[in-house]
Amino acid sequence: MADLFLTPEHLDFYERFKSFWAAPSGPRVAEIIAPDARIHFTGQPTMSGADYVGYMSGMLAAFPGMTVSPLDCAGHGDRLYIAWETSSVIHGQPRRFLGVDRFRVVGGMAVEEHIVFDSAVLQPQGRPGIDH
């Protein structure tokens, strides 16, 4: 059976992820994401960790008051899964939705990230998001 527990590296990364979302900014992405990481963001082309810095800056500007609340995490080997809830004003409407990030963490930094959520919530006439 595989190890299905959180390692000290998982726990450290999870704490830094929560710290990032307590005061998010584009430049702070570099605190948890390696510049050469591969980022797979639902509905967007794959980007590098370095490109994600600018993308995050733009996203935070486009979605005023956006919050991401980490809810839980699980680890397996070099993988860390973080479930989260986001709320923001999107196209003038308050929206709330759930998602999961799957990280591959090496040496304390994410070298790969998959951000998974129902992207319909980002559309002007999209559904209001996934509820609990």
Domain with 48 in it = 8-117
Query: How many domains are there within the chain?
Result: 1
Give 117-125's long-range contacts (Cβ < 8 A, gap of 24+): 117/42, 117/86, 118/42, 119/42, 119/43, 121/90, 121/95, 121/97, 122/43, 122/90, 123/91, 124/91
- Whether residue 18 is contained in a domain is answered as yes
> Read out DSSP for 59-106?
HHHHSTT-EEEEEEEEEETTEEEEEEEEEEEETTEEEEEEEEEEEEEE
- Whether residue 128 is contained in a domain is answered as no
pTM for the whole thing? 0.89
pLDDT tens by residue, the chain, 132 residues: 344 579 999 999 999 999 999 999 999 999 999 999 999 998 889 999 999 999 999 999 988 889 999 999 999 999 999 999 999 988 888 888 999 999 999 999 999 999 999 887 877 766 555 543
- Whether residue 51 is contained in a domain is answered as yes
- Whether residue 49 is contained in a domain is answered as yes
Residue 67 maps to which CATH number? 3.10.450.50
